[in-house]
Amino acid sequence: MMTPEQNFMRKIEAEEKIEPKDWMPEAYRQNLIRQISQHAHSEVIGMQPEGNWITRAPSLRRKAVLLSKVQDEGGHGLYLYSATETLGVKRADLIAAMQSGEAKYASIFNYPTQTWADIGAIGWLVDGAAIVNQISLQRTSYGPYSRAMIRICKEESFHQRQGYELMIALAHGSPAQKAMAQDALNRFYWPALMMFGPHDAESAHSAKSMTWKIKRETNDDLRQKFIDQTVPQIEFLGLVHPDQDLKWNAERGHYDSGEIDWKEFYNVINGNGHCNRQRVEHHIRAHEEGAWVRDAMTAYNAKQRAKTTEQRQAA
């Protein structure tokens, strides 16, 4: 007879999904709670820098596209919070941890959107980096997370394409528009690379996540994929690549790149980015203003349950 832990690892090795009612090590559960909730927080906080531009979009078409994209991000947060709740944690506790700073979200969302071109750069680079990471997460070992990622990846593909289409329009437009596109690329390229996290040797969770097949590819491997796919996209736009040290390595079959400013990365995730306080304060304010909606839903559900119980007793 196998022990619960042996059976758990057998399922992992056999590529069987771990489901909510299955036995799992507590460390596996906590690792999932941290990763999925951080992912959920990122989706919800990520609505802010783009939502800020909905009323300022330059056309009705651009406004409708951006509105749809921001709405999708809210849905992604819902899927992921729901997946996290299957691990026995309350959503209210997850949100409280994020608002207190105990839980993190993607550092990229602590950068401001200064121009309309930033909306294109976010869709192209930020959602493009997310897709690189999330495609592999469709095969993650935890069933609810894996299934949520299948739908999310389809929608993120739309987000990436609308961003790149916007950048094409700007880069092939007037000199002022092309300069705006270049400026947005310069400011968002390096933070997009930081989205994959620290180097593998410095990541506190990567090794165990790989063993449990929560993650299927390392931070550095995912970052390399993103770098490689972005080079021809920048060339097509006719823009200058922000990495002046970038060069093709024929022996590796990949691009060698310059070093990321890790001091900036850790400064931002530790709460000292341009918009850290603004993002959290906005979330807290919106959460408090929406309390009456949650209270109304709770009261309505209680009323419906009481009504159902009464009908059953009468029958």
Predicted confidence (pLDDT) per residue in 153-193, tens digit: 999 999 999 999 999 999 999 999 999 999 999 999 999 99
Determine contact, residues 34/205, Cβ cutoff 8 Å: yes
Displacement of CA 19 from its chain's centroid (Å): 23
Q: Give the span between the Cα atoms of 162 and 65, in whole angstroms.
A: 8
The predicted-structure confidence for 14-29, as pLDDT tens digits, reads as follows 999 999 999 999 999 9
Tell the CATH superfamily of the 4-262 domain: Ferritin, core subunit, four-helix bundle (1.20.1260.10)
pLDDT band at 195 (very low <50, low <70, confident <90, very high): very high
Q: State the Cα–Cα distance between residues 4 and 156, nearest whole angstrom.
A: 37
pLDDT band for position 243 (50/70/90)? very high
Q: Which two tokens stand for residue 288?
A: 């408090």
Residues 6+ apart with CB under 8 A from 105: 38, 41, 42, 44, 45, 46, 98
Tell me the β-bridge partners of 249: 254
Average pLDDT, stretch 123-135? 94
Which pTM was predicted? 0.91
Which of these, 228, 225, 234, 231, lies nearest to 184 by C-alpha position?
234
Tokens at residue 192, please?
């997009």
Alpha helices in the chain (DSSP H): 4-13, 26-45, 47-51, 60-85, 91-100, 116-121, 127-137, 143-171, 175-194, 206-211, 219-237, 262-267, 276-289, 291-314
The pLDDT of residue 208: 87
Rounded mean pLDDT of 274-288?
95
Sort 227 into a burial class: Cβ within 10 Å, 0-12 / 13-18 / 19+: buried
d(CA 152, CA 192): 19
Measured CA to CA, the distance from residue 19 to residue 83 in angstroms comes to 11
Task: Assign 3-class secondary structure to 15-55.
Answer: CCCECCCCCCCHHHHHHHHHHHHHHHHHHHHCHHHHHCCHH
Q: What is the band of 3 on the pLDDT scale with cuts at 50, 70, 90?
A: very high
pLDDT band at 213 (very low <50, low <70, confident <90, very high): very high
Per-domain residue ranges of the chain: 4-262, 274-314
Confidence band, pLDDT 50/70/90 cuts, at residue 232 = very high
CB 12 within 8 A of CB 18: yes
